[in-house]
Chain A
C-alpha cells in the first residue's frame, strides 16, 4: 500500500462508522519501490490530498524526513519538494502490517502490500 492510497482510503463502509478516516497504520514491513517521477502528476494530486494526514502517516512509519509539515504556496515550482512528495506518495510502500479504523478499532490486515478491506456479513451497512 502506497501512502497516496492511504490518503484516500476509509473504513466508512463499516456499519456504524461515519467517516472512518484517517486509518492508523501499523507497519511491520516497509519497502521502497522506485517509480518514474512525474512532476505534473504530483502537483495535480497535492490539492486533493489531506496533507496533514499524509505527513502524520509518513511520520508514523518513519518516512517523514525532509517532508514539510505544511505546503508552501508555490509548491509547483519547487522541484525538490515535488520529488520528496513523490517519494512519500508513490515509492514508500507498506508491505505487511494492518490499518486501524479510528472509530471502531477494527483492524484491516495488509499482506503482500494489499490491504484487505473485505467485511463480514454482520459488518456490512
Chain B
C-alpha cells in the first residue's frame, strides 16, 4: 500500500502542508518503504506546482511554500536513502540581486522555479555585493551562482561579480548565470562574460540544468 502514503506526500506538496508531509515521510521510514522513490514523488509534485505557476494557476507564495514543504520531507527521507543509491539532487544554486538593485520579484520567481526543478536554492537577497555572492558560493559549495539586475545602473554588477570571482581565483569553480528585465538584456549578459542567461524562469531552469550537467565552460548566452 505504498501508493497511499506516496499520494499523501504528493498532496502535501500540492496543499503546501509541511506537517502532512512530515507525517507521511515518517510513515515511509517506519514501514521501510523506498525513501528514494518517496523523494521522487515529492519532487515530481513540486514540478507540478511549477508548471501550474507557468500556466497562471499557482502563485509565487504557493511555489515558495511547496518548496519549503519539500524540504521538510527530504530532511526526514534523505538519511534513509542507501549510500549506494544516487540522490536526485541537481546541485546548489546561490541566487541574489546585485548591489544597488532592490527588484526582487524576478529573482524570487526564478529561485522558486529552480527549487521546483530540484536545485538546493540559497537566496542571499537583494542589494548584494560581489563579495556576498562569493562568500555564499564558497560557504554553500554552490555549483551555480545567479545574479539578477534590472536596471542600466545596476547591470554593471554582473561584470563586477565575474571580475571579483576571477580576482579571488574562484571563477572556474562556479558557473555564473544572470538575468533580469527579460529578453533584451541577453546581449549585456554576453558582454559581462557569464556562463548562462535566462530571459524568464523557464529558460533559467533549462540553462541551469544544462550548466549543472557539464564541466566545460561553453557560454550559454546566445540562443
- A and B bound? no
Interface positions of B (Cβ within 8 A of A): none
Interface positions of A (Cβ within 8 A of B): none
